[in-house]
Structure 1
Amino acid sequence: MAAADIQDNLMTASNDLERLQRLLSDASDALLGHFYGASGQLNHLLHTMAQHPDVDVRQLHDAMQHMAGAITAMQFQDMASQLIHHTNTRLRSCADRPAAEAMGDDEDGTAVVESAPLRPNPVTQDEMDAGSIELF
């Protein structure tokens, strides 16, 4: 019975990670919408500045700061998604292994155990700073 309990707990954690991934994806979609909105505003500011050189450039600088923040947030979303997927794969592998050993094969065939990821961590970065931009 311990194998079934372990499998249930690991699958619950895996399902929680899948829900977290959906929430993160929804937040990312909203972020992208704001990103494109900011991009449109920046284009408008650039057009206005070209026609009126006396316009305060601080508005453009502020808008660029917001864009840099949006790009950093998108990078965070990408790294978080990679970590969630990696952890979810590892949890499912851990959940399948004791279940396959406890229950064995049945009339439908051999029990399938998903392989655990070979690398311990898909993302080596552990903090986000503004700076160079690398979108994945």
Structure 2
Amino acid sequence: MASPDDALQPAAAGLTAFAAIELQDHLLTVGNDLDRLQSLLADACTSLLQSFHGAHAQLHDIAAPAAESAAHAAIGGAVQQIGNAIVALQFQDMASQLIEHSHRRLRSCADQLARLTMPDDDDGPALVEEAPLRPNPVTQDEMDAGSVELF
């Protein structure tokens, strides 16, 4: 005679598979969100280029004959714009590294869930991309102009 636990096993297996599919869907959604964030960061870099062009224009104004105080103000503005652009470029690079690292880790988890919960197809078991070995590619949590840690 079958025990009550035997009757629950197929239902529990179905629930576990459903939970794994839901989790996989959430992981892939987060991966897509990270891709959109990467796009936003790329747009920010475009803005940085505009800032560099603004600094260039101000430095060009310095070369033209002007009063000493006007030249001093233009130099100060150019230096400020260049410093802001450098910090923003460093932030974008660090953020891109973190996004790519997180995206690879999420994709690996989603692939592993698919392999565990889905039957193999005609081509065999699903390929699973290895998760990154390092837990975090960027250890720096703050920065000033000119200081950034890259891996």
Normalised TM-score (structure 1):
0.85
Task: Give the deviation of 1:52 after TM superposition.
Answer: 4.7
2-side partners of 1:58 and 1:13: how far apart?
A: 46
Q: Which residue of 2 aligns with 1:119?
A: 134
Task: Give the deviation of 1:127 after TM superposition.
Answer: 1.1
Q: How many residue pairs align between the two structures?
A: 132
Task: Give the deviation of 1:66 after TM superposition.
Answer: 1.4
Task: Give the deviation of 1:54 after TM superposition.
Answer: 3.0
Task: Give the deviation of 1:135 after TM superposition.
Answer: 9.9
The share of aligned pairs that are identical, in percent, is 51
Gaps of 5+ in 2: 1-17
Higher relative contact order (CA 8 A, sep 6+): 1
Equivalent position amino acid for 2:46 in 1: D
Q: Which residue of 1 aligns with 2:116?
A: 101
| 1:20 is the counterpart of 2:34 | no
Q: Which residue of 2 aligns with 1:32?
A: 49
C-alpha RMSD over aligned residues: 2.1
Instruction: Map 1:47-66; keep pairs closer than 5 Å.
Output: 47-48=63-64, 51-52=65-66, 54-56=68-70, 57-66=72-81
1-side partners of 2:49 and 2:148: how far apart?
A: 16
Gaps of 5+ in 1: none
2-side partners of 1:133 and 1:127: how far apart?
A: 9
| 1:75 is the counterpart of 2:78 | no
| 1:43 is the counterpart of 2:43 | no
Greater radius of gyration (CA):
2
- Note if contact 1:38-1:67 (Cα within 8 Å) is conserved in structure 2: no
Q: Which residue of 1 aligns with 2:20?
A: 3
